[in-house]
Amino acid sequence: MKTKLVIGIILLLLHYPIKADVMVGVWNIENLSPTIKRGFPERQGSEQFGPRTNGQLDKIADHIKNDLKVSAIMLTEIHGDQELATHNKSSQLDYIEERLGDKWDYWIGQSGGKQRIAFLYNKDEVRLLDIWEIQVPKIKVQGSDIYHRDPLVAHVKFREGGNDVFIVGLHLKSVQTNVHNHMAAVAKLLGVLSDAKGRKNHGLPRLSVENEVIVMGDLNDSSHNKNGFKFLFDYFEGVGYTHLGDAEDYPDTRVNGSEIDHVFVSKKLKAEVVNDSFKVHVIGETEVERDRYRKTYSDHYPITVKLRTHADND
């Protein structure tokens, strides 16, 4: 009788997976490249930082693994400096991946030149189902293409028995005055993600197949704190997305005090966001401390948020 009871409990647990939390994040690493100097625009000429040393890359890997504790993270400003037959790789991201361990892997976008978007993930906790760049013809607004780096969409499944979601990486045109350029970029992205024809045209699963979406990235835009001019954030919210973090007391996401990195979650995913888990990993209050952080890590701070996994219903 006891044996039958134990078997019954095991079968029940297999049918109803135990809920668990998964940490995801986004980080602009500032020119992760073996050749490009860093520090623009604050540091010029001889004051610029050189490419990162192996010792600095070791610290970045340790930060991702032990401080951020992410299972998946979108990275921006990645130099795909190794050209293979079918795709590009990043020698410095290869180094970081090796330090993280065998269970880690990444995929790097093909657009963006020396500042691409990449998706880094732990294969034990995240299964990559598919990945796309949302490729669009060149559209110029305010004199610049709305997508120098095409948005990167990773369709992932959390653990065995967990739900699958879209994780979207964005890196919009630099300089915050490019407000209309940013708006056009977001309008195009939401037109693809929220519209049946848009998804079909770009080869993405139907809305009925995948409606849990998290959009993360360096939007180069802090219009959330401009009264009467929150166009970009209002657009997201108008189609059912929630901007994470307190807009009235939003933390710095860049060492110069800018608030330009953001996370939005779709209506279907909002309930899975763990309360108070949104965090900008600010390090250093003084200019000296932030400059020290920038020398090794980046001019941006990583953002993380914890999601609850569940049996999939889409």
CB atoms within 10 A of CB 193: 24
- Please report the domains of the chain, with CATH numbers, ordered by start residue: 19-308 (3.60.10.10)
**Tens of each residue's pLDDT in the chain, 314 residues:** 555 555 554 444 444 445 589 999 999 999 999 999 999 999 999 999 999 999 999 999 999 999 999 999 999 999 998 877 667 899 999 999 999 999 999 999 999 999 999 999 999 999 999 999 999 899 999 999 999 999 999 999 998 778 999 999 999 999 999 999 999 999 999 999 999 999 999 999 999 899 999 999 999 999 888 776 788 899 999 999 999 999 889 999 999 999 999 999 999 999 999 999 999 999 999 999 999 999 999 999 999 999 998 877 65
Q: Please, which residues have CB within 8 angstroms of residue 299's CB and are 6 or more apart in sequence?
A: 28, 30, 38, 39, 42, 254, 255, 256
Global pTM?
Answer: 0.92
Q: Record the tokens describing residue 14, joined without a space.
A: 């297999």
Q: Is residue 5 helix, strand or coil?
A: helix
Instruction: Calculate the CA 196 to chain-centre distance.
Output: 24
Please, which residues bridge with residue 74 across strands? Answer: 26, 119
Question: What is the pairing mode between strands 164-171 and 152-158?
Answer: antiparallel
Cα distance between residue 204 and residue 197, in whole Å: 10
Do 22 and 66 meet the contact criterion of CB atoms below 8 Å apart? no
